[in-house]
C-alpha cells in the first residue's frame, strides 16, 4: 500500500474513558498489545506520519516513538480539542483522525477519504456506514480535513461548540460509504474489550484480510503477510512458576517489581578512601587523617569529622558525611604509621566513585518487563533481588513433519529419485532454539488419509504445527481440500525469494485448535520462511517481545535484485581494512543449496522496493548467531 506523504494521521486518545471505568482506553491490553498500538499499525502504512493526542500517561504513548500532543483548549472539549491540537502541530496539508478505541479501522481509510475530498472539491471527508434497512451512519471522528481550516474549528470551540459534527456545518463535506460497519466499531467498555479480545473471541482470517484493500493471495508482499499473521495469532494464556535456575530462555509472564533497592546503601565503587568533598583543597595538596577501615558487608557507625577519612573497600557502605572516594593508587601516605594521606589538587571531584542507593534499581520499580526472554544477565538480576521463583509462560508445544513420497529418513536406503529429509533436522534446530516443546512426527507420505490423520493428531496435542513441502502450485489438490475442511487456512504466493509458496491459518479437530504454518519444501526456503514468518508468530504465541534484530552494514560488492519482491540472500559479515563492517553474499543463491546456508553467518535482507545494490550501498542484515 502506497503511503500518502501529504497526510498526517492523528490518533485521538485524550478522552476520559468514563464508560470503561476512567481508564486510559488506548493503553488497555488487546490481542497481545494495546488498542492504540493496533490503531497505529493500521494507520502507519497509509500516511506520511502518525501522532497521538493524549492528556495522561504521556510517557507511555511517547514510548511508541511518535509525537504526543495534549489538548491545548482549556476545559474538556472532547475529540474536537484533540483535533484542534493536531491541526495546530500538523506539518502536512491534510490530517486524518481516528480514535484509539477502534482497532479494526480499514486499511484503505486514508486513500478513499483523500480521493473523495479531491474529486468532490471538499473541505472535509468522513467515513459513513449503512446497515441493511437502516439510515446512513456518519463517523465524524474518522475524518480527513484540510489543516488550513484550523481557524474555523478554533472559532467553533471558542464559542462553546462541542458537537463533533457541528464544526464543519458550513463547509463542503464528502461522505465516503464503507461496507464493513465493524471496522468503525468503538470499544467503549471493559466487557466489549473482553468480548473482542481474540483470546476470547477468535477472529477469522477473512476478518483480518478484509482490512487490506489490495489483498491478493497470489501476489502478497512480505510485509502484508507478516501483518496478517501478526494480527491473527494470539498468545497462550498458561502461566507457571519455575525456580530461578530453570527460568533461562523462558518468557516472563508478568512484570517483576523490585522488592528492594539495588544497591541498598550508598557505597564505594572501588578500593580507596572515603572522604568529604568539602575538605579537598583546590590550590594545593589535601592532607587527611585515616580513622578506620570499612569493609563490604560491615558498615561502620563512625562519622568522620572535617579533615578525616576512612579506608574503604569496594562495596563498603559510605560513612555518614562522606560523599567521595579517592582510589588508593592516587594517594600518598604521609605521617607516622600511615595514618595520614595526601591528595594532589584536582585528582578527583566531589561525588566521584560513589554509588548511590537505588542507582541500579529502586524498590517498587519494574526490574524486568512481561514478555522478556530471560537471559543469563536477567537471572543474575533476579538473584540480586532475592527472587527464587519467577512466573513464566508455559512452553509452546509445536509439532512438525515433512511431506513427500521422495523423502527418506537417515538410515534408510536412498532409492533412485529420492533424497534424505533434511528439513526436519533444520526445523528441530530452529524450534529448539526458540525454547519450544517439540513433537517430531516424521515423514508423511503424499496420501490424503495419512495427511489428514497427521494434521488431526497434531492439532489435538499441540499449539502450532509446522510442515515442510506440499504447499507449492504443483502440490496435490487434496492438501488444500484437507486443510480447508479442517479449519481456516489460506495459501499464499508471496513476493519473495526464496520461499514463494506459504500456507497459514488455524485448523480444528475434536474441539482443539492449532495454528498451521505450511512452509515450502526447498531446504533454504524452509529456513527463510520460518525466520521471517513462523518465528515471529510463535514468539507472539509465547507472549515474547523479541523482534528480529537487523543490522545496517555496507555491501562489499554489487548484488543483482529485482524491485517488487523481497529477497533474502545468504551472506558473510566481516570487517574491511578500516575495521568497518561489510557483507558479501555467498555466491549461488539457489533455494536448494543448503551448504551455502551453513557457510553463511547472516542473511542479507533486500526489501521489495529496492533494486540492484552497488558496492558500498547500505543493506539490512540479519545475523544468524542466536537464531540458527
Cis status, amide bond into 443, omega within 30 of 0: no
3-state SS, residue 257: strand
Task: Please state, in angstroms and rounded to a whole number, the distance separating the CA atoms of residues 529 and 221.
Answer: 13
Task: Please state, in angstroms and rounded to a whole number, the distance separating the CA atoms of residues 160 and 148.
Answer: 21
Task: Please state, in angstroms and rounded to a whole number, the distance separating the CA atoms of residues 424 and 440.
Answer: 8
In contact, 531 and 623? CB cutoff 8 Å: no
If you write DSSP's letter for every residue of 35-51 in order, what string do you get? HHHHHHHHHTTTEEEEE
Q: Which helix (H) or strand (E) holds 548?
A: none
CA neighbours closer than 13 Å in the CB half-sphere of residue 307: 0
Return the CA Rg of the chain.
31
297's grid cell: 558487608
- Annotated binding residues for GTP, written as ranges, equal 12-14, 25, 53, 71, 101
Q: Which residues pair with 493 in a beta bridge?
A: 501
3-state SS, residue 165: coil
Nearest to 236 by CA among 602, 558, 516, 513: 513
Q: What are phi and psi of 140, to 5 degrees?
A: -65, -15
- Annotated binding residues, written as ranges, equal 12-14, 25, 53, 71, 101
Q: Which residues pair with 496 in a beta bridge?
A: 566
DSSP assignment letter at 609:
T
Burial class (CB in 10 A: 0-12, 13-18, 19+), 337: exposed
Task: Please state, in angstroms and rounded to a whole number, the distance separating the CA atoms of residues 54 and 68.
Answer: 7
The 10 Å Cβ neighbour count of residue 50 is 23
- Annotated binding residues for Mg(2+), written as ranges, equal 101
Nearest to 127 by CA among 142, 112, 114: 142
In contact, 51 and 9? CB cutoff 8 Å: yes
Amino acid at each position: 500500500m502506497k503511503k500518502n506523504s501529504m497526510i498526517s494521521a492523528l490518533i485521538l486518545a485524550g478522552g476520559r474513558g468514563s464508560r470503561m471505568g476512567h481508564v486510559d482506553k488506548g493503553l488497555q491490553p488487546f490481542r497481545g498489545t494495546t488498542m492504540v498500538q493496533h490503531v497505529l499499525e493500521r494507520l502507519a502504512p497509509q500516511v506520511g506520519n502518525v501522532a497521538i493526542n493524549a492528556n495522561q500517561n504521556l510517557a507511555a504513548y511517547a514510548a511508541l516513538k511518535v509525537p504526543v500532543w495534549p489538548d491545548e483548549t482549556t476545559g474538556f472539549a472532547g475529540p474536537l480539542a484533540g483535533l484542534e491540537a493536531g491541526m495546530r502541530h500538523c506539518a502536512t496539508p491534510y490530517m486524518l483522525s481516528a480514535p484509539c478505541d477502534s482497532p479494526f479501522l480499514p486499511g484503505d481509510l486514508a486513500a478513499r477519504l483523500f480521493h473523495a475530498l479531491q474529486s468532490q472539491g471538499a473541505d472535509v471527508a468522513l467515513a459513513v456506514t449503512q446497515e441493511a434497512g437502516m439510515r446512513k451512519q456518519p463517523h465524524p471522528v474518522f475524518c480527513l480535513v484540510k489543516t488550513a481550516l484550523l481557524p474555523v474549528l478554533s472559532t467553533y470551540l471558542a464559542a462553546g461548540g462541542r458537537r463533533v459534527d457541528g464544526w464543519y456545518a458550513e463547509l463542503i463535506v464528502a461522505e465516503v460509504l464503507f461496507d464493513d460497519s465493524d471496522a468503525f466499531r468503538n470499544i467503549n467498555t471493559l466487557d466489549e474489550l473482553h468480548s473482542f479480545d481474540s483470546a476470547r473471541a477468535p477472529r477469522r482470517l477473512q476478518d483480518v484480510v478484509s482490512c487490506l484493500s489490495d489483498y491478493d493471495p497470489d501476489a502478497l508482499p512480505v510485509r502484508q503477510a507478516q501483518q496478517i499473521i501478526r494480527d491473527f495469532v494470539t498468545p497462550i494464556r498458561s502461566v507457571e512458576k519455575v525456580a530461578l535456575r530453570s527460568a533461562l530462555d523462558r518468557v516472563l509472564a508478568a512484570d517483576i517489581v523490585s522488592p528492594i533497592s539495588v544497591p541498598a546503601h550508598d557505597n564505594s565503587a572501588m578500593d580507596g578512601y572515603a572522604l568529604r568533598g568539602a575538605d579537598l583543597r583546590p590550590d594545593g595538596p589535601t592532607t587527611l587523617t585515616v580513622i578506620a577501615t570499612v569493609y563490604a558487608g560491615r558498615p561502620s557507625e563512625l562519622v568522620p569529622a572535617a579533615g578525616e577519612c576512612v579506608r574503604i573497600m569496594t562495596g563498603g557502605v559510605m560513612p555518614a558525611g562522606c560523599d567521595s572516594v579517592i582510589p588508593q593508587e592516587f594517594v600518598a601516605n604521609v605521617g607516622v604509621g600511615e595514618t595520614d594521606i595526601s591528595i594532589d589538587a584536582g585528582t578527583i571531584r566531589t561525588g566521584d566513585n560513589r554509588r548511590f542507593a537505588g542507582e541500579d534499581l529502586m524498590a517498587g520499580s519494574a526490574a524486568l518487563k512481561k514478555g522478556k526472554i530471560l537471559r543469563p544477565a536477567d537471572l543474575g538480576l533476579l538473584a540480586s533481588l532475592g527472587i527464587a521463583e519467577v512466573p513464566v509462560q508455559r512452553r509452546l508445544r509445536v509439532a512438525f513433519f515433512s511431506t513427500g513420497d521422495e523423502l527418506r529418513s537417515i538410515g534408510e536406503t536412498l532409492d533412485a529419485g529420492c533424497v534424505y529429509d533434511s528439513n526436519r533436522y533444520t526445523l528441530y534446530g530452529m524450534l529448539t532454539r526458540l525454547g519450544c516443546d517439540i513433537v517430531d512426527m516424521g515423514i508423511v507420505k503424499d496420501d490424503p488419509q495419512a495427511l489428514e490423520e497427521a494434521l488431526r493428531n497434531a492439532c489435538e496435542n499441540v499449539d502450532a504445527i509446522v510442515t515442510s513441502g506440499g504447499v507449492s502450485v504443483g502440490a496435490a489438490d487434496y492438501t488444500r481440500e484437507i486443510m480447508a475442511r479442517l479449519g481456516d487456512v489460506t495459501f499464499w504466493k508471496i513476493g519473495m525469494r526464496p520461499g514463494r509458496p506459504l500456507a497459514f491459518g488455524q485448523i480444528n479437530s475434536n474441539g482443539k485448535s492449532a495454528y498451521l504454518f505450511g512452509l515450502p519444501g526447498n531446504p533454504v526456503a524452509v529456513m527463510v520462511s520460518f525466520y521471517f514468518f513462523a518465528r515471529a508468530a510463535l514468539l507472539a504465541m509465547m507472549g515474547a517481545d523479541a523482534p528480529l534484530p537487523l543490522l545496517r552494514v555496507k555491501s562489499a560488492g554489487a548484488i543483482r535484485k529485482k524491485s517488487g519482491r523481497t529477497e533474502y540472500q545468504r551472506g558473510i559479515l566481516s570487517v574491511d581494512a578500516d575495521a568497518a563492517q561489510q557483507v558479501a553474499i555467498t555466491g549461488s543463491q539457489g533455494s536448494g543449496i543448503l551448504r551455502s546456508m551453513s557457510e553463511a553467518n547472516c542473511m542479507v535482507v533486500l526489501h521489495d522496493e529496492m533494486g540492484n545494490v552497488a558496492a558500498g550501498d547500505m543493506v539490512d542484515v540479519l545475523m544468524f548467531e542466536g537464531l540458527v
